[in-house]
Amino acid sequence: MLIKGVVFQLDADLPSEAKSLLEDFRLAVNNAVRVGLQARVTSRNALNRIAYKDFRQEHPRMYAKHLVSAFEVAGGVLKNYRRRVRKGVACKVPYVKRLMMKAENQAYKLDRESGTIDFPIKAGCHVKLNLVVSQYHRKYMDDPTLSLGSLTLFSDRVIITFRKCVPALYIPASVLSLDTNERSLDGVFVDSDSEASVSVKAEFPDVAIIQQRHHDRRRRLQKKKAHDRRTARNLCKREGTREHHRIEYRLHQVADAVLSFAEDKKSAVVLEDLTGIRYKRGKDMNRRLSLWPRRKLHSIIEYKAQWRGVPVFKVDPRNSSRKCPACGRIQDSRMGAEFVCDCGWHLDRHINASLNLLQTAISNGMAGGLRFDPGAFQHDVMMILYDPVRGARSEPNGTSCIGEVA
Ligand SMILES: [Zn+2]
């Protein structure tokens, strides 16, 4: 089962009944946490066994399913706490401060047409919550193959999870092989039927710029607030959260553009396996080339691909930036924008790496009976899958290429 959480805003403030329910729920969670700590249990069922009776008396009119759900939330809090204690991380006894509550799908009703939630508070008392439904939300609300999962209610918004059975992956008719770099995905698209083979590119130059900017800002904050470490820490944390949000937004756009293309062409996507890669460089270089956005991009692509049924293969990137795809020689140096080999082969360094990834995928039997001729990529046509200025490609059928001198 695949799960996707979708955030909805509410069209009005929470009714007072719902507000007091949130407070009751928080109280129940914190009580359950206390009980769980005393009894040294963390599972929802154990908490339920131990505490249900007392809780029933303390919250006599709360809807029973909400009470059980409080045990589940408390169980999660306790498990996190136990994990941290085991790891030896210093942490306080957990206490939930935020107003929130979780309800399983039997505990609420959503009218998917109008976006109205019928939410039970206690016996004989229901509230209606109206969601703000945009075009983005419609995609999920109107899709009958998606079933509703749990609902998380906050004081200003609602998260509804949609569930989907894992779709069958299509049999790829072509391959999109991508090398992941600091500022772009570069690669090749090979379709053995139509014998089309073209270099592709999806650029995200902003990501490195945002990283740099926030890094500078954090450094400045630390200097400015050197006398107050608590404030410095809080401000830096806020900077970090902002940075992640801004970068993730861009990565999602890139991933969507790449996968729309792949889905349209019934392509398999080949990526390098980034796990286990480390850079042996100085601290500064390490940060600049932080792997985080690239790993994040891969995880977004993989997740979205699963949701859409696009097959993704990860291959070992060893030597992919140093090997010559024509003669197989491995070079010592990997510098320079162009890869040049003694045998006469030369190609853009990033594209060259993606060719090597593709060859690895083929030799591992991942790409079926696909054949390709590396020589076909030595012309200068480049197809842009994503351009930060224009967004995704303007021609969704992908038949016409944007001629660009590489
Ligand atoms: Zn060569």
Average pLDDT of adjacent 10-residue blocks, the chain of 406 residues: 92 89 92 90 87 84 87 92 88 88 90 91 86 92 92 92 91 91 91 78 90 89 89 90 92 94 92 75 55 90 93 90 87 78 87 90 76 70 81 46 38
Q: What is the pLDDT of residue 138?
A: 93
| Count, residues in the chain | 406
- pLDDT tens-digit map of 4-21: 999 999 988 888 888 989
Contacting residues for 229 by C-beta, under 8 A, at least 6 apart:
none
* Per-residue DSSP letter, 323: B
- pLDDT tens-digit map of 90-129: 788 898 999 999 998 888 999 999 999 999 888 788 899 9
Pick from 112, 114, 113, 131: nearest CA to 12: 131
Residue 95: alpha-carbon gap to chain centroid: 28
Q: What does the alpha-carbon distance between residue 76 and residue 96 come to, in Å, rounded to a whole number?
A: 11
> Ligand 1: distance of its center to the CA of 342 in Å?
6
The dihedral built from the CA positions of residue 104, 106, 109 and 110, taken in this order, carries a sign that is positive
Per DSSP, the three-state class of 210 is: helix
| Range list of β-strands (E), 349-402 | 382-387, 391-392
> Ligand 1: distance of its center to the CA of 334 in Å?
14
Q: What is the pLDDT of residue 142?
A: 92
Q: What is the pLDDT of residue 133?
A: 93
Structure tokens given for 118: 């019928």
Q: Which residues pair with 180 in a beta bridge?
A: 185
Q: What is the pLDDT of residue 396?
A: 41
> Ligand 1: distance of its center to the CA of 186 in Å?
20
Q: What is the pLDDT of residue 282?
A: 55
> Ligand 1: distance of its center to the CA of 346 in Å?
8
CB 309 within 8 A of CB 264: no
> Ligand 1: distance of its center to the CA of 328 in Å?
6
